[in-house]
Amino acid sequence: MKAALVSGAGIGIGAATARALGRDGYHVFVSDILEAEGQAVVADIVDDGGAAEFVLLDVTDTAAAEALVADIEARFGHVSALVANAGIAPRAGYQILTDEKWDKVFDVNLKGQLRLIRAAAPAMSAARQGAIVCVSSIAGAVAGWDDHWHYSAAKAGITGLVKAAAVELAKHNVRVNGVAPGFVRTAQILSEENSLGPAGLAEAEKTVPMGRAADPAELADVIAFLLSDKASYVTGQTIIVDGGLTVAL
């Protein structure tokens, strides 16, 4: 059985992706700082006939990230599918965007992805088998988000990371791609403190040609495709999944 590691897998896109990979036959390592939520995802996968386990992981902890990958490699040889998804999006207009707030978002959203890729890439490369998907956003990859400069900048950085990693690892038959979601119905976007909130999302959905926000499972399906052999000649790409939003702007 192949091993898949998904960060930020307790809720939202990460949880949906972990469930999808469980159905695809991976042994899924569900990692998050949200233990109860992560354990619930594991239970869903197991109840569906799959194999999974929860791992408490703060992606800002380099030693913990490396130890997790090393444990997977000891048991499975290498990580076959890596989904670097963990992220935060606290609202902070530039007037209150301190160095500390900027650094925290970059540490989680961008450097957190680097830590996992850097740890997993050597064994993937040696095995000449594996695929990586990094979760970006249309905020940064395509557009900006007015009171989320730190988030937009970090997500733009993910797009660059995907390109550089894809070029480096292609020679070892390891593929690296990204997805850039638009509006997705998750706890993050429904937060009035840090995002649109329910009323704001309802208004935002009117700007989407398809007339609605995505369900997390729709992002998970794209991620699962990029990790599969059906995408065997796709690397270095960031796929926009936004219901036509950005092409209609």
DSSP H or E segment with residue 87 = none
CA-CA distance, 223 to 178, in Å (whole number)? 8
Catalytic residue of the set 26, 94, 151, 233: 151
Helical packing angle, 216-227 and 12-23, nearest 10°: 50
Q: Note the helical H segments in 128-244.
A: 138-141, 149-170, 197-205, 216-227
Catalytic annotation present for 151: yes
DSSP H or E segment with residue 239 = strand 238-241
The 10 Å Cβ neighbour count of residue 149 is 18
- Rounded to the nearest 5 degrees, what angle is found at the Cα of 164, between the Cα atoms of 161 and 168? 135
Which of 228, 215, 151 lies closest to 181, judged by CA?
215
Annotated catalytic sites, by residue?
A: 151
